[in-house]
């Protein structure tokens, strides 16, 4: 992928990602940090939002942040150390960190880097690796077609999908066992709203997501859409909801809130799964019966 690196630089140059459901996911993730953790490394730290949460909850933990994107690292504020490097070859000694986190990263890795990356996460961890990935994602459903070279690719450059069993076995080959997992956010679907919105879009001539090119650039040929259009399409959910509230009268917001409370809905498992993986010898030590004193 020739322009893959540029894709991530462009992605992170849009600024901090502060989506409420993302924050909820990260708070759920921070709960998996083991007691007594002295130092933590966040591999593929992005803009440092997880480091920020860790710092708030556990001010005494020493935090290292690494990412391949320098645009991302520029935005990291809450790290004691930060470094630009590739996941598949991390410049740290074996078992350097009490806890290694790698959140929403490994689904982006190429076949060449994937196994090396998992092996590296396990190698630099003393006891604990925390991983999160999209859960049961249908990567073929969220695609962009490049208008220049016609390549079809997943909008987030996700290259693989994980289910319960593939997730549980992620680090089995590297001496780790999954101790705990959770789906930190649930999805709420309001019956009929999708149909309502698709009719609403057609009537107003608003294009459907599937008709838009939503990526910062094409990872194959480097095609880049106009900046203004791009910013509009990729505004964060928080910005979009602020725009909606600004354009809605208080009375209409009240009615909207009331309808939402009464409307029939369904909740389903959310978009992410997060797990804590523990080095096997540690498991054996903690579950074995203490030696009797003679």
- Sheet containing strand 272-279, strands side by side: 81-84, 62-67, 39-43, 97-103, 125-134, 272-279, 176-182
Least distance (Å) from Zn ion to the CB of residue 152? 10
Q: How far is the CB of 225 from Zn ion (least distance, A)?
A: 11
Q: Which is nearer to Zn ion, 99 or 146 (CB)?
A: 146
Contact residues for Zn ion, defined by CB under 5 A: 146, 148-149, 151, 218, 220-221, 223
Q: How far is the CB of 168 from Zn ion (least distance, A)?
A: 36
CA angle (11, 111, 142) in 5-degree steps: 45
Nearest approach, Cβ of 8 to Zn ion (angstroms)?
16
The answer to whether 105 touches 134, Cβ cutoff 8 Å, is no
When the beta carbons of 146 and 185 are compared against Zn ion, the nearer one is 146
- Cβ 156 to Zn ion shortest distance, Å: 16
- For the bound state, the minimum distance from the C-beta of residue 224 to Zn ion, rounded and expressed in Å, comes to 10
Nearer residue to Zn ion within complex by CB, 143 or 221: 221
Alpha-carbon span 129 to 41, nearest angstrom: 10
Name the strand (E) or helix (H) holding 275.
strand 272-279
The rounded distance, in Å, linking the Cα atoms of 8 and 68 is 9
Contact 25, 274 (CB under 8 A): yes
Phi, psi at residue 245, to the nearest 5°? -65, -35
Tell me whether residue 15 or residue 147 sits nearer to Zn ion (CB atom): 147
**Alpha-carbon span 138 to 161, nearest angstrom:** 7
- For Zn ion, give the closer residue by CB, 225 or 270: 225
* Pairing assessment for the beta strands 125-134 and 97-103 based on DSSP bridges: parallel
Structure-token pair, residue 153: 């690719």
Closer CB to Zn ion, 149 or 186, in the complex: 149
């Amino acid at each position: 992928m020739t322009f893959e690196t540029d894709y991530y630089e462009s992605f992170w140059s849009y600024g901090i990602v502060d989506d409420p459901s993302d924050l909820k996911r990260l708070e759920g993730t921070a709960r998996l940090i083991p007691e007594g953790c002295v130092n933590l490394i966040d591999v593929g730290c992005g803009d440092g939002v997880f480091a920020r949460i860790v710092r708030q909850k556990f001010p005494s933990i020493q935090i290292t942040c690494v990412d391949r994107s320098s645009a991302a690292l520029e935005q990291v504020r809450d790290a004691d150390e930060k470094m630009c490097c590739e996941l598949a070859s991390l410049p740290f000694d074996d078992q350097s960190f009490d806890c290694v986190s790698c959140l929403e990263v490994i689904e982006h890795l190429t076949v060449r880097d994937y196994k090396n990356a998992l092996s590296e996460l396990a190698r630099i961890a003393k006891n604990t690796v925390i991983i999160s990935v999209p859960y049961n994602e249908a990567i073929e459903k969220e695609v962009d077609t490049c208008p220049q070279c016609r390549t079809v690719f997943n909008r987030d450059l996700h290259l693989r999908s994980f289910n319960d069993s593939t997730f549980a076995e992620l680090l089995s080959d590297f001496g780790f066992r999954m101790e705990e997992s959770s789906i930190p956010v649930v999805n709420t679907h309001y019956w009929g709203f999708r149909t309502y919105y698709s009719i609403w879009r057609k009537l107003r001539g608003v294009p459907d997501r599937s008709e838009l090119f939503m990526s910062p650039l094409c990872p194959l040929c480097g095609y880049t859409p106009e900046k203004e259009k791009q910013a509009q399409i990729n505004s964060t959910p928080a910005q979009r909801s602020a725009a909606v509230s600004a354009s809605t009268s208080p009375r209409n917001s009240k009615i909207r809130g009331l309808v939402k409370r009464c409307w029939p809905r369904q909740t389903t498992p959310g978009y992410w799964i997060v797990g804590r993986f523990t080095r096997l010898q540690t498991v054996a030590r903690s579950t074995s019966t203490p030696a009797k004193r003679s």
